[in-house]
Amino acid sequence: MEESHIEKGECQNKLEVAPALISVHPSQKSVAVTVGSDLRVFDLIENCPITLVDESEGPAHKDSIRAIRHGASGKLFVSAGDDKLVKIWSADSWRCLNTVCSEKRVTAVAISSDDSYVCYADKFGVVWVVELDGINEGKVLPAKKGASLLSHYCSIITRLDFSPDGRYIVSADRDFKIRVTVFPKKPLEGAHEIQSFCLGHTEFLTCIAFVWNPELTQGYLMSGSGDSTVRLWDITCGSLLDTCDVSTMVGDLESSESEPPSQVTVTDICTIPNSSLAAAAIQSFQGIVLLSCDLSAHTLSITKVIKIPGESFIPTSISVSKFLWMVSGASNLPGSNHPGVSRVRVISTETCSVLEDEQIPGGTKLLKHLQGKVRVEESVMSAAAEAVREAMSSLLMKKQYSDEKREFRKRTRNDKKTTL
Amino acid sequence: MESETKATFSKSTGLPRKRFYRARAHSNPLSDSHFPIPTSPAHVDFSLHFPKFVEADGKTSKKVEFADIGCGFGGLLISLATLFPETLMIGMELRDKVTEYVKERILALRRTSSEGQYENISVVRTNSMKYIPNYFEKGQLSKMFFLFPDPHFKEKNYRRRVISNHLLDEYAFVLRAGGIIYTITDVEELGEWMKSCLEKHPMFEPLTQEELDSDPVVELLCSATEEGQKVARNGGQTFRAVFRRIAYAS
């Protein structure tokens, strides 16, 4: 205990590195990028930067944003993070409609498919729910407090999502666990009925995404983890349908490197609409792995690997609508005079090719707004990727101590003294 | 034979002696666990725990049905073992020394029993507040016991209490409809807390007085456990809450 306290104390002195995040509007009206406490949005219809208007009671983001998301309907957008604020925005007017103050730092957010509830998870494993009565008319609501919905016992919840049919809320945590809970009719009274637990991962969960089609609205769940696998689940019974190991893929590709890493972290997954494909971003891999999911045979396999040529670009967050949008970057980089750095790249989902900066929707105007500048130096990019990797493992991996060290720290404990 | 070589065993009864298993009174349920945790219930190998119930395929013929959460020195398990000889039950305890003691105690009881008793009980070291779903499937259990849990008086530490609104969701998941949850404590404040958590939860209902009177397990809550005996010795009061898991559709 003592030692971990000291280590935590040290971490708090220097600012924590937060990865850059990206979220694109479901019908590609706009795209949002966060770096640290900065939320930048670009209008893809009008082809211009958007100025955010915040008249809600409550302060603006002043610490790293850890989760952003567009609602499935495209009307709402939510941002939340280390400053314990959850901000709900209109995705049309980009006015802040409500600011919810959380007691703890927020790690994940989700919007119900009918836009009537926002759920957010805190660093202590509690999921909270806020009712959005009348927010659909674009009204600014008085400051609200969340009601506790469910809890993972003292574990960081890394992702939160509603099932496509809205029946379940799914929460993934650092203790290798995915919990599927029936989303109740009266969520403010708590969600008590657990449908299943999806257990099989052997490291922390990092991302979840539903694969679904119009016939199969309930859908299947894909999850990515620090154990270098993506897994496919049937959430009604929690059974593991297939496991796809991505570490070998990455190892083979980087044949010039010495030893391929034994374990890689899947940092983000998103499913491509109207297809059985999903894109996965993998830590320390310069590109995207496309996974194909056969919902009748219950299999998951790698279909294509898209390498990003040239510069060092390792996606930290990805989002999809007509195109696959990727961002790489971080805030609070140690030992650098860059407060935050981000680089946006786009892949066409039809041709699976990486677009040049001039070809992307919004062009260099978009890049200038979302990146802060058109060109980003490569050395900074690789430093950012490394910093994000380190920050993620120190946040989510269990600290390992040698047996001797652990015994040494227990030396004064009563039960260790011998009475013989 | 074996017991003679171990100095920590009583020569007369062949049972392990408690004084050689000096335990801490508390263990922090919030800290990261460094003992092995099964990936899922399918990964738990109960054949090593219940060798007499193993069939030809190497698996146990039944599934565990009773769980004593925070079993302490195992007094309740040992009483239940003979009351329900055909039911598999497991104790879960976080403190390693205590788990070790219970393990030795059960093995010694199995050795000394002339009628082949105590083959249906065992113990695991785990943090049941974190890992209950890693051990049991949905609706696997028919009884769960929470006897004399840590009271955690400070408000700051309420979240360390083993009964809470949110943890009851997980207990309701592993308990089948009709399954029973037994709680007892000698701390009035905690007794009230556990009762109110259970009353508020939509998936539990209290047992009637007749049901309590006819359930042979209820009286064991006090008499069989080490903590219960201590309370009785000191003439203390106990506070009990026994609830049934009901079928539920939200």
Confidence class for position A13, pLDDT limits 50, 70, 90:
very low
pLDDT of residue A9: 39
- On whether the CB atoms of residues B18 and B116 are closer than 8 A, the answer is no
pLDDT of residue B171: 97
The count of residues in chain B is: 250
Adjacency order of strands within the sheet including A168-173: A157-162, A168-173, A177-182, A194-199
Q: Give A194's strand partners.
A: A181
Structure tokens that stand for B198 in this block? 């259970």
- Residues 296-315, chain A, touching B (beta carbon < 8 A): none
What span, in angstroms and rounded, lies between the C-alpha atoms of A385 and A375? 17
Residue A189 lies in a domain: yes
Distance (Å) from the alpha carbon of A287 to chain B's nearest alpha carbon: 30
Model confidence at B68: pLDDT above 90: yes
Active-site residue, B150 included: yes
CB within 8 Å of B182: residues ≥ 6 apart? B143, B144, B145, B146, B147, B217, B218, B221, B240, B242
Question: Rounded mean pLDDT of chain A?
Answer: 87
Tally of structural domains, chain A: 1
What number of H helices and E strands is found in chain A? 5, 28
Structure tokens that stand for A209 in this block? 């995404």
Confidence class for position A1, pLDDT limits 50, 70, 90:
very low
pLDDT of residue A255: 47
Confidence class for position B4, pLDDT limits 50, 70, 90:
very low
Residue A366 lies in a domain: no
Q: Give A300's strand partners.
A: A293
Model confidence at B44: pLDDT above 60: yes
Structure tokens that stand for B186 in this block? 């000698």
CB-based contact, A154 to chain B, within 8 Å: yes
Model confidence at A2: pLDDT above 90: no
Give tens-digit pLDDT for A158-177: 999 999 999 999 999 999 99
What span, in angstroms and rounded, lies between the C-alpha atoms of B46 and B63? 8
**Alpha-carbon distances of B65 from B55, B62, B129, rounded to whole Å:** 18, 9, 18
- Which of A288-302, B21-35, B80-94, B177-191 shows the lowest mean pLDDT across its residues? B21-35
Residue A351 lies in a domain: no
What span, in angstroms and rounded, lies between the C-alpha atoms of B245 and B242? 10
Residue A7 lies in a domain: no
* Whether A150 and B169 lie within 8 Å, measured CB to CB: yes
Residue B112 assigned as binding residue: no
Give tens-digit pLDDT for A273-295: 888 899 999 988 999 999 999 88
What span, in angstroms and rounded, lies between the C-alpha atoms of B243 and A273? 47
Neighbours of B78 (CB within 10 A): 20
Residue B225 assigned as binding residue: yes
pLDDT of residue A418: 56
* Whether A153 and B22 lie within 8 Å, measured CB to CB: no
Q: Please, what CATH class does the domain formed by B39-245 belong to?
A: alpha beta
What span, in angstroms and rounded, lies between the C-alpha atoms of B220 and B204? 22
pLDDT of residue A169: 97
- On whether the CB atoms of residues A91 and A70 are closer than 8 A, the answer is yes
Model confidence at B1: pLDDT above 70: no
- On whether the CB atoms of residues A17 and A4 are closer than 8 A, the answer is no
* Whether A406 and B34 lie within 8 Å, measured CB to CB: yes
* Whether A200 and B22 lie within 8 Å, measured CB to CB: no
- The percent of residues above 70 in pLDDT, for chain A, comes to 90
Domain ranges of chain B: 39-245
A/B interface, count of CB pairs below 8 Å: 89
Structure tokens that stand for A47 in this block? 């082809």
Strands (DSSP E) found in A184-286: 194-199, 205-213, 216-225, 229-234, 239-245, 266-271, 277-282
Give tens-digit pLDDT for A290-347: 999 988 899 999 999 999 987 789 999 999 999 999 999 999 887 666 678 999 999 9
**Span A358-383, average pLDDT:** 89
The alpha carbon of residue B239 and the mean position of all alpha carbons in its chain are separated, in whole angstroms, by: 18
Task: Tell me the CATH number at A151.
Answer: 2.130.10.10
Give tens-digit pLDDT for B167-188: 999 999 999 999 999 999 999 9
- On whether the CB atoms of residues A73 and A115 are closer than 8 A, the answer is yes
* DSSP structural state of residue A28: S
- Which of A111-115, A208-212, A407-411, B121-125 shows the lowest mean pLDDT across its residues? A407-411
3 state DSSP class of B164: coil
Residue A314 lies in a domain: no
Model confidence at A390: pLDDT above 70: yes
The residue with greater pLDDT, B50 or A416, is B50
Q: Which residue has the tokens 């011998």?
A: A418
User: In terms of residue numbers, what domain contains A140?
Assistant: 66-76+102-200
Model confidence at B85: pLDDT above 50: yes
Give tens-digit pLDDT for B71-82: 999 999 999 999
Contacts of A154 in chain B (CB under 8 A): 29-30, 129-130, 159
Q: Give B162's strand partners.
A: none
**SS3 string of A237-261?**
CCEEEEEEECHHHHHHHCCCCCCCC
Confidence class for position A152, pLDDT limits 50, 70, 90:
very high
Confidence class for position A416, pLDDT limits 50, 70, 90:
low
Residue B128 assigned as binding residue: yes
CB-based contact, A408 to chain B, within 8 Å: no
Give tens-digit pLDDT for A235-269: 999 999 999 999 876 655 554 454 555 789 999 99
- On whether the CB atoms of residues A99 and A140 are closer than 8 A, the answer is no
Model confidence at B51: pLDDT above 90: yes
